[in-house]
Amino acid sequence: MAAARTRASTRSGARLTVSDWIEAGFALIAEEGLRAVKIDRLCGRLGVTKGSFYWHFSDIQGYMDALAAAWAADHRQSRASLEALRELPPAERLTSMMRHLTSSRQWTLERAVREWARRDPSVAAEVRSADRVIFREVRRAFLDAGFPAAEARVRARACFAAGIGFIHLADRAPGAADAREHQRFLQIMVARQ
């Protein structure tokens, strides 16, 4: 009787929306990776049966496309808050970006999407375009720190690569120790010697 109400859903007890399904997909990816995204698993998480899935989406391909589109939209969205960081001093700005990338919500998702991009060129294109935006901000931080263009470019590239490397090398959510290490690394990179 009460069991049927056991929803992990965010919205009260109401019927599901497309974004509930998308959110469940991201959660699954973040927790168990891309290959965990199966209709059955989504249904279990949302407390509904497969029929419900097929009411909202035509098929699993349609759902995956919607997931990828939502990821890209999220990134465009956070572009604004990324730009808002510009008022911080460069070193703190970099730390803040790195912290976001390696946050427990992000890191697995980010890694999964990059893995997905290896198989799906349209996802790959979205990753590339998102990367470009972020790289520009990283480079800007180094320019603001007073480095000449060429030097800023080199350092930005290294930082960017390191960030991606961190999430690929991680096998569990980065902890406080990792965060300190990242911060130290950025400190070194941004130091004008």
Q: Which stretch binds a second copy (CB under 8 A): 4-12, 60-68, 112-120, 183-191?
A: 112-120
Tell which positions 26-55 bind DNA, by CB under 7 A: 38-40, 47-55
120 binds, among DNA, a second copy, none (CB under 5 to 8 A by kind): a second copy
CA distance 126 to 149: 27
Nearer to DNA, 56 or 157 (CB): 56
Cβ–Cβ < 8 Å for 9, 44: no
The Cα 126–Cα 8 span in angstroms is 29
The contact pattern for a second copy, residues 117-136, with x = CB under 8 A and - = no contact, is -xxxx---------------
Backbone angles phi, psi at 181, to 5 degrees: -60, -45
How far, in Å, CA of 74 to CA of 162, rounded? 23
Tokens describing residue 166: 């961190």
Chain residues that interact with DNA, rule: CB under 7 A: 4, 15-16, 38-40, 47-56, 59-61
Chain residues that interact with a second copy, rule: CB under 8 A: 118-121
